[in-house]
């Protein structure tokens, strides 16, 4: 998965206003293989990229089958600067 261009440099972190435990950092392969995430839209935080711009790891902070529903929840939440990506079943390395 390549870095989303429409988010530019804002995909590096999620800034939260309340102290909460951070979601676990997973590799992109782990995310793609997880049955709860395959075929769904994901809100990712703390994305780490390699030199080619490929996602190496991220924390999944929310997921939904409907893009607009996910975006609405993210917009209404305390989450900021998330990458929104689709996790297709064919992805992974």
Residue-by-residue pLDDT tens, the chain, 93 positions: 554 443 332 333 333 333 456 789 999 999 999 999 999 999 999 999 999 988 899 999 999 999 999 999 999 998 888 999 999 866 654
Q: How many angstroms separate the CA atoms of 58 and 43, rounded?
A: 10
Classified as helix, coil or strand, 6 is helix
- Give pLDDT, residue 40: 96
Distance in angstroms (rounded) separating the CA atoms of residues 48 and 57: 5
What pLDDT sits at residue 20?
53
Task: Please give the C-alpha separations between residue 61 and each of 35, 51, 52, 93, in angstroms, as whole numbers.
Answer: 16, 24, 24, 22
SS3 category, 29: helix
């Amino acid at each position: 998965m390549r870095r989303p261009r429409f988010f530019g440099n804002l995909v590096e972190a999620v800034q939260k206003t309340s102290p909460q435990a951070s979601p676990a950092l997973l590799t992109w392969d782990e995310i793609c293989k997880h049955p709860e995430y395959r075929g769904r839209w994901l809100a990712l935080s703390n994305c780490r990229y390699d030199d080619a711009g490929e996602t190496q790891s991220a924390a999944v902070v929310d997921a939904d089958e409907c893009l607009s529903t996910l975006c609405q929840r993210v917009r209404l939440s305390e989450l900021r600067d998330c990458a929104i990506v689709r996790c297709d079943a064919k992805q992974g390395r």
